[in-house]
Structure 1
Amino acid sequence: MNNAALRAEATRIFQAGVAAADPAGAVRRALNAQPVTGPVAVIALGKAAGAMMAEALLHVEASKALVVTNAENAQDIAGAEVMIGEHPVPSDGSVAAGAAILDFVAGLGPEDQVLALISGGGSALAIAPVEGVSAADKQAANAVLLGSGLDINQMNLVRQCLSRLKGGGLLAATKASVRALILSDVIGDDLRVVASGPTVGRVGTHAEARRVLMDAGAWDAMPQAVRDHLGRDEDVAEMRPAYNQIIGSNRVSLEAMVAACDGTVIVDDALEGDVAEAAQKVLSAMNAHSGDCTLIFGGETTVKLVGDGVGGRNQELALRVAQGAAESGDDWVFLSGGTDGRDGPTDAAGGIVDTQTCARIADAGLDVDAVLGNNDSFHGLQAAGDLLVIGGTGTNVADVQVFLRRS
């Protein structure tokens, strides 16, 4: 199989994973299995919010409807107000959206019901800072978190401690009964972490958030107002229950990728942690499987920013794998992509690399070590023609990877 055919096959398998996370299909299955009866206030939050809301409105009697999503995935939906926030760093629109969500549910009583449609990205798309912490403080804190090397669970622990919306804040703001349909972008599907858990309890306490930030060397970089707030210990109130349902996840997408091809092995469904260590896991798996093979991975790695380049965790993972396997001599392709079609602050979903990637980068006058040292994987892969660009997908269930070797 030639290189172009290998790339096409890897992309096809990746797209099978994305298709399995189709938000409209997931909502349809959930509401057909367990219909909502009577009037219901519907909120959709996250990158998949538009598609989830459009489908939900075909199945329920909505008394009112509010969508909060990013600009790329926004769409006009009859009967729903649509608000736009920013991701991964929240914007003024995110502040307005957070206030709108709390206002949306505040006047509802015990006889009312809320249907919440939650997907990845919600943490930044809607923010409602605690008293004493400004929106600018929250934005600065989020930027620090994104460059800290912390995993999504640790970042959302901190985010929840700074929010009136996250960590069950939506649930606490209303007396209505709440049912949530959740498209999980979190490995292990801890619902406290998806969109920072607006309908679920907190991940942890201020003391735990302080410890995480100090261990990561990120405490001093936080705004003073954030440090002051987290410096005050507090009791985490017990949350009243909501009915939370997972309707899609990374694991579901991995299984769809397996179904899309023969001879596939899911090597790791929790490829997490530092991107350099994750690359070594991929390289070890490549070496452990001789001959023709298809290897599938899923997870969400982290990148500790030390340079001022442009890139994302999938792009850096792909480039590190390309560097580590450049001398293998085999015909292979490795793809790492975000199922939302976006990797970091770029328009690429990730990277798709092969045995000649590093040579093409060198031919373009760049040094791979220098590119990686500056966290500039976007420009390195761009020079090689190896960016994976598919546009926004309207869904988000974390990242997936596929390795192909063919004789």
Structure 2
Amino acid sequence: MTTPGRTMTSAQAGDLLRRLFATAVGAAQPALAIPPLLPALSLPRQGGRLVVVGAGKASAAMAKAVEDHWDGPLSGLVITRYGYAEPCQRIEIVEAAHPVPDQAGLEATQRLFRLAEGLSEQDTVLCLISGGGSALLAAPLPGLTLADKQQVNQALLTSGATISEMNVVRRHLSAVKGGRLAAAFHPARVVTLVLSDVPGDNPVDIASGPTVGDPTTCADALAIVRRYGLDLPAAALDILTSGAGESVKPDDPRLQRAEIHLIATPLMALEAAAAVGREAGFAVHILGDALEGEARDVGKVMAGLARHVARHQQPFTAPCILLSGGETTVTVRGNGRGGRNVEFLLSLAITLAGEAGVYGLAADTDGVDGREEVAGAVITPDTLDRALAAGVRPLEALDTNDAHSFFAAIGDQVTTGPTRTNVNDFRAILVV
């Protein structure tokens, strides 16, 4: 174990940061979270059917955890991202596209609704929901096509809107989100297990709340469209302006037998990482699990905080680790490879300007930052110098939203492959 101090090498710092991230990801695995909960759910063993449905990047791993620890009869179908499937015997796993929906997601969602046929009050639907479900549950309202939904998602992803704002719009253009899936399974009992990937852990925002009553309205969605100047298909605008896309509300009687259980959250992951940091001999400070804002702006703020700690021992004393979670946004201005975590990290590095003794990691716990099969990256005090030596211009990469290319050029990417979980972004700054 390395003793904290200013003699810590970049390699040692990077190893510690990667270990913190791996711990956060490991703490949010469905195989850990689901088995202890199943006995308390009073799921049917005799007389009623148990049907398992779900969607999200972690849904296949959630389904496997249910199968492995449930000895009664069950059947069902869940939808996950390409490459995120898990081998299941009784629950069918379908892969589809994320973050922009595709035909496979549309057809699988239609099949989910068919599972509702013939359900009675004696039956239970176990719904497994995690981040990514908004794209994977692809069921446009009547009058909209899959191409329309794809255009809506593209516009939202590049707008700079928060995840909560994006999901307000999505809920009012969908036949499955905003409580509609639970309503379709009425009169069966609907038990939803949720793995949170959103700031605040509000179930209505996780996968756009397919089994949760929605307090927002078409007017709210239209206000967001106008706020960000979104270019939506005419049919989508007609649905919002007419009110035809109104979602299922919290007091809807079809939701009376619907219940929600949060099984893993960003804070749980941060706390697990904090424990590892403390074991390594560092003071650890969790700055928040729901930080939002433009990625490059959050990077500047965090750089200012880290620099103040390094130079003045305020508001924390070094050596220490600063952890945070949440979901930043990126307003796309360039034609780069994107990624909110790497954009945050590049902005952090530029603002720190080689500050001695400050290291950082930012990565998405699902293993995918933006559309890249890369979780994130690491910075060290010599990040900018190494980039310039390699002919890479940091400011240009930031201006063109091309931070993935920047970190690829200097070999500082964090690549995990599919993690099969998703508890939002993980950020760690080490000051030694």
Class of the TM-score when normalised by the shorter of the 2 chains: over 0.9
Deviation beyond 6 Å, 4+ runs, structure 1: none
Does residue 193 of the first structure (1) align with residue 205 of the second (2)?
yes
Aligned residues: 403
Shift in Å, 1:364? 1.9
**Equivalent residue number for residue 4 of structure 2:** none
The one-letter amino acid paired with 1:11 is R
Does residue 287 of the first structure (1) align with residue 268 of the second (2)?
no
How far does the alpha carbon of each residue in 1:16-71 deviate from its partner, in whole angstroms, 9 at most, with x for none?
A: 11111011211112113434232311113111111111111222524322121112
**Equivalent residue number for residue 294 of structure 2:** 274
- Give the secondary structure class of the aligned counterpart of 2:15: helix
Distance in 1, matches of 2:182 and 2:39, equals: 24
Does residue 184 of the first structure (1) align with residue 200 of the second (2)?
no
Residue range with higher mean Cα deviation, 90-99 or 354-363: 354-363
Distance in 1, matches of 2:130 and 2:36, equals: 16
Closer/same/farther in 2, CA of residues 237 and 44 from structure 1, 3 Å limit? closer
The one-letter amino acid paired with 1:378 is H
What is the percentage of aligned positions where both structures have the same residue? Answer: 36
Shift in Å, 1:236? 4.8
Cα RMSD after superposing both structures: 1.4
- Give the secondary structure class of the aligned counterpart of 2:292: strand
**Equivalent residue number for residue 126 of structure 2:** 115
* TM-score normalized with structure 2 length: 0.90
**Equivalent residue number for residue 265 of structure 2:** 249
**Equivalent residue number for residue 53 of structure 1:** 63
- Give the secondary structure class of the aligned counterpart of 2:290: strand
**Equivalent residue number for residue 349 of structure 1:** 375
Out of 358, 373, 385, which is 2:384 matched to?
Answer: 358
Does residue 5 of the first structure (1) align with residue 5 of the second (2)?
no
Q: Structure 2 matches for 1:63-142, cutoff 5 A?
A: 63-142=74-153
Closer/same/farther in 2, CA of residues 237 and 319 from structure 1, 3 Å limit? closer
Distance in 1, matches of 2:43 and 2:308, equals: 50
Closer/same/farther in 2, CA of residues 203 and 83 from structure 1, 3 Å limit? farther
Distance in 2, matches of 1:81 and 1:378, equals: 34
Closer/same/farther in 2, CA of residues 282 and 177 from structure 1, 3 Å limit? same
Aligned residues of 2:44 and 2:123 also touching (Cα < 8 A): no
Aligned residues of 1:36 and 1:60 also touching (Cα < 8 A): no
Shift in Å, 1:366? 2.2
Distance in 2, matches of 1:47 and 1:90, equals: 13
How far does the alpha carbon of each residue in 1:72-106 deviate from its partner, in whole angstroms, 9 at most, with x for none?
A: 11123111212111111111111112111111124
Residue range with higher mean Cα deviation, 197-206 or 372-381: 197-206
Residue range with higher mean Cα deviation, 254-263 or 140-149: 254-263
**Equivalent residue number for residue 32 of structure 1:** 39
Distance in 2, matches of 1:237 and 1:181, equals: 19
The one-letter amino acid paired with 1:250 is P
Unmatched 5+ residue regions in structure 1?
Answer: none
Does residue 174 of the first structure (1) align with residue 185 of the second (2)?
yes
**Equivalent residue number for residue 423 of structure 2:** 397
Distance in 1, matches of 2:180 and 2:335, equals: 35
Aligned residues of 1:360 and 1:383 also touching (Cα < 8 A): no
> More strand per residue: 1 or 2?
1
**Equivalent residue number for residue 326 of structure 2:** 299
- Give the secondary structure class of the aligned counterpart of 1:115: strand
**Equivalent residue number for residue 27 of structure 2:** 20
Distance in 1, matches of 2:357 and 2:227, equals: 42
Distance in 2, matches of 1:337 and 1:203, equals: 32
Residue range with higher mean Cα deviation, 58-67 or 289-298: 58-67
- Give the secondary structure class of the aligned counterpart of 1:81: strand
Distance in 1, matches of 2:374 and 2:106, equals: 26
Distance in 2, matches of 1:95 and 1:236, equals: 19
Shift in Å, 1:237? 4.5
Distance in 1, matches of 2:83 and 2:241, equals: 37
Shift in Å, 1:203? 4.8
Aligned residues of 1:160 and 1:203 also touching (Cα < 8 A): no
Aligned residues of 1:311 and 1:344 also touching (Cα < 8 A): yes
Closer/same/farther in 2, CA of residues 259 and 32 from structure 1, 3 Å limit? farther
Distance in 1, matches of 2:301 and 2:71, equals: 46
Unmatched 5+ residue regions in structure 2?
Answer: 1-7
Aligned residues of 1:193 and 1:203 also touching (Cα < 8 A): no
Aligned residues of 1:40 and 1:60 also touching (Cα < 8 A): no
Distance in 1, matches of 2:204 and 2:71, equals: 26
